[in-house]
Structure 1
Amino acid sequence: MTPEAVVFDIGNVLIEWNPERFYDSQIGPEARQRLFAEVDLHGMNDLIDAGALFRETIYDWAARHPDWGREIRWWYDHWIDMASPRIEGSIALLRALRAKGVPVFALTNFGIHSFAYAQTQYDFLAEFDRAYVSGHLGMIKPDPAIYRAVGADCGLAPGRLIFTDDRADNIVAAAAQGWQTHLFTGWRGWAERLVAVGLLTQAEAGL
């Protein structure tokens, strides 16, 4: 079945998301490992992705963990350094699909305010036909309800959507809803899949 719309995750698909790499560069791997073991920073980020305030949530966690307060505040103060660089091959695929008139959606775990900020830094984040942002939806992947919400809004049958994400649990959840899926490990593999399902030619996919 040829898909009618393509759904992109954002983090580690269109932009790299690697807080550990940033912290390693600032405090070294050993200190970073202690920080992440003592403070559930990814759990904190899940709250933001589910709709909690951006700066306020991070600064509250910093106040609750004063031994790591400065480093926790970096999650807000240096957020763009963790959410970079752009993955240019994937961005080119997004634009190639849109140039052919294929609807392109985003389905992303992203905070309300962090996504708004990211849109000021990355032009392509304004290029989706529809952007489904977890913070606005009040639920995060891989909750099955978030995939059903996308389907209900776009009006397409599940099998008509093809979705790429770098996390296997998110892919499994989408496939359970009947979506076509691709586990993202690099833009070339994704490009090959888009060619295989008939949405792009090899030349259009940059292969």
Structure 2
Amino acid sequence: MIKAVVFDIGNVLVEWHPERVYDPVVGPALRDHLFHDIGLAAMNEAVDAGAPLAASVSALAATHPDHADHIRLWQTRWGEMFAPEIPHAIRLLRALRAAGVPVFALSNFGCETFAQAETMYPVLTEFDRRYISGHLGVIKPDPKIYQIVEADCGLPPAALLFTDDRPENIAAAAARGWHTHLFDGPQGLAARLLAEDLLSERDAQ
């Protein structure tokens, strides 16, 4: 029996699209080069695992001075990358809480950026428990982060329903016995919550 619903945040509750900032400035080809060859994606993964954002951006910019201004966009325009909220998904989270179903966050997120995100989107303060990778020092899909959730919340894997937009994160949770839902829009999640009798049809709207 499912006793709690675990939400990813980026692209589940709030859209996360760094390319929306970079593409108008540098174009898709250079953006891809910045992310994968220059190392912005790897830097962001390190930040999600607990590395300080400002120092990480500065270090990468110093290593690649020809792209320094573009690299610094990751910090100066981060708030534009993490936007907008997904209203129906937020309604589902709040409906679950109103129905007495605990809701947890399990998200890859840097410490500083999560603090900024909380000021932008108050819903991020509404979880019953929050498991943020930057605070924990481990990121999805490492099995350790799922173990941390289980140990802290005291619920067995079969009591948890996890929704995330990344198949590898879903697969890692399913391997531990969690119920899972690959998020591809709030309508699909609403249907799953209805099917599990966690929400009424009215509350899933």
Fold-level similarity (TM above 0.5): yes
Q: What secondary structure is seen at the aligned counterpart in 1 of 2:11?
A: coil
Q: Aligned residues, how many?
A: 205
Q: What secondary structure is seen at the aligned counterpart in 2 of 1:132?
A: strand
Q: Distance in 2 between matches of 1:83 and 1:54?
A: 15
One-letter amino acid of the counterpart of residue 66, structure 1? P
Query: How far 1:200 moved relative to its partner?
Result: 0.3
2:38 is aligned with 1:69: no
Runs (4+) of structure 1 moved beyond 4 Å? none
2:123 is aligned with 1:115: no
RMSD over aligned Cα atoms: 0.9
Residue in structure 2 matched with residue 159 of structure 1 by the alignment: 158
2:3 is aligned with 1:8: no
Moved more, 28-37 or 73-82: 28-37
Q: Distance in 2 between matches of 1:104 and 1:204?
A: 15
Q: What secondary structure is seen at the aligned counterpart in 1 of 2:106?
A: strand
Q: What secondary structure is seen at the aligned counterpart in 1 of 2:83?
A: coil
Q: State, as a whole percentage, how many aligned pairs show the same letter.
A: 57
Query: How far 1:31 moved relative to its partner?
Result: 2.6
Q: Distance in 2 between matches of 1:171 and 1:197?
A: 18
Q: Distance in 2 between matches of 1:194 and 1:178?
A: 18
**Where do residues 26-175 of structure 1 align in structure 2 (5 Å cutoff)?**
26-175=25-174
Q: Distance in 2 between matches of 1:136 and 1:30?
A: 33
Q: Distance in 2 between matches of 1:76 and 1:66?
A: 16
Query: How far 1:51 moved relative to its partner?
Result: 0.5
2:150 is aligned with 1:185: no
Query: How far 1:34 moved relative to its partner?
Result: 3.0
For structure 1, the 5+ residue unaligned runs are none
Give the TM-score normalised by the residue count of structure 1.
0.96
For structure 2, the 5+ residue unaligned runs are none
Give the TM-score normalised by the residue count of structure 2.
0.97
Q: Distance in 2 between matches of 1:29 and 1:136?
A: 32
